[in-house]
């Protein structure tokens, strides 16, 4: 079974406007609402690609109940910890000729509730996959991710880690099956720009030497790069798309790569499906549909996708 963990899920409330004027009454042209958070996005995309999974993490209040119900309707199993106070956060994204985002804090997570999640994760078995996405919220003690993974070490669980900065470096010691930084995040790890293919390979290789088995780097308009655990490197160019939305594109790439690998065991196919899923979401208002993902796949890939 695959499990995703989202410490701080969110409802993204997207407001489309001609212009935003501070200090005045502004009126929208239209609004859309998406349920998300990095792990939630991965769960949704895995389900669309025909991979059963369970979404875990913390939810609270009426917004948390709405998020969970939306996952049930999508056919996704859930095993959340319910917080007694606050609400699952609502992030506001205002789209004019540019995009303005207001990301909220979310509900506080007590030590008791954190332990409740850890106890749920203790039930994972050999062969299960755990996907840990996003940064550690300020409402949990420092080192909570490491405490969580320490409890699972030695159980034969494959880890997928999609975090950034110092936290990513700290978690490499758990030998994750996959990490997925984007180019900017990879540059920030070393504090310098990546200006050549060799530099890209060196940076990915450094993560592999520190523990990552497979390093998948999303390169935006330049495509994607994979350094696999058999030390082979793969580079694929991006699909030509008109970018509508970048939120969830990286999560879609993680889900596509993982679904492709689980179905075939083939790294090039996994990379193609990951790139197709990421590109499809980038040109969609929300997470991409299965039909749009298939549009970006090679017509010679005969594998059935979806359920």
In terms of DSSP H, where are the helices of 49-88?
61-73
In angstroms, the CA 78 to CA 3 distance is 9
Helical (H) or strand (E) element with 167: helix 165-171
Residues 6 or more apart in contact with residue 197 via CB below 8 angstroms: 235
In angstroms, the CA 77 to CA 60 distance is 17
Catalytically annotated residues: 251
In angstroms, the CA 226 to CA 216 distance is 5
- Whether the CB-CB separation of 177 and 149 falls below 8 Å is answered with no
Q: Is 147 exposed, middle or buried (0-12, 13-18, 19+ CB in 10 A)?
A: middle
- Residue among 194, 148, 191 at smallest CA distance from 171: 148
Helical (H) or strand (E) element with 267: helix 267-282
Largest separation between any pair of C-alpha atoms in the chain = 58
- Residue among 51, 32, 57 at smallest CA distance from 270: 51
- Residue among 265, 284, 285, 286 at smallest CA distance from 295: 284
Residue 2 pairs in a beta bridge with: 53, 129
Cα separation values, 24 from 19, 27, 222, Å? 11, 10, 40
């Amino acid at each position: 079974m695959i499990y995703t963990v989202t410490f701080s899920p969110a409802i993204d409330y997207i407001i489309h406007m001609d212009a935003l004027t501070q200090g005045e009454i502004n009126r929208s042209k239209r609004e859309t609402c998406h349920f998300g958070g990095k792990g939630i996005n991965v769960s949704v995309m895995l389900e669309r690609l025909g991979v059963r999974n369970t979404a875990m993490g913390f939810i609270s209040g009426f917004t948390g109940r709405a998020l969970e119900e939306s996952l049930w309707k999508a056919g996704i199993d859930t095993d959340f910890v319910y917080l007694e106070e606050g609400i699952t956060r609502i992030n506001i994204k205002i789209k004019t000729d540019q995009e303005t985002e207001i990301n909220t804090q979310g509900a506080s997570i007590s030590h008791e509730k954190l332990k409740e999640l850890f106890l749920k994760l203790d039930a994972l078995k050999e062969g299960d996959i755990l996907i840990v996405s996003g940064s550690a919220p300020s409402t949990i003690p420092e080192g909570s991710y490491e405490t969580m993974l320490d409890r699972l070490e030695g159980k034969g669980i494959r880890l997928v880690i999609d975090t950034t900065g110092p936290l990513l470096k700290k978690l490499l010691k758990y030998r994750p099956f996959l990490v997925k930084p984007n180019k900017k995040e990879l540059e920030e790890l070393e504090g310098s720009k990546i200006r050549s293919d060799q530099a890209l390979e060196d940076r990915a290789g450094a993560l592999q030497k520190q523990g990552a088995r497979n390093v998948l780097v999303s390169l935006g308009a330049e495509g994607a790069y994979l350094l696999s655990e058999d030390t082979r490197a793969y580079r694929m160019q991006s699909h030509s798309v008109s970018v509508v939305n970048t939120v969830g594109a990286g999560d879609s790439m993680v889900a596509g790569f993982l679904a492709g690998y689980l179905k075939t065991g083939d790294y090039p196919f996994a990379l193609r499906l990951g790139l197709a899923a990421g590109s499809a979401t980038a040109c969609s208002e929300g997470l991409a549909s299965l039909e749009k993902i298939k549009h970006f796949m090679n017509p010679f890939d005969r594998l059935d996708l979806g359920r």
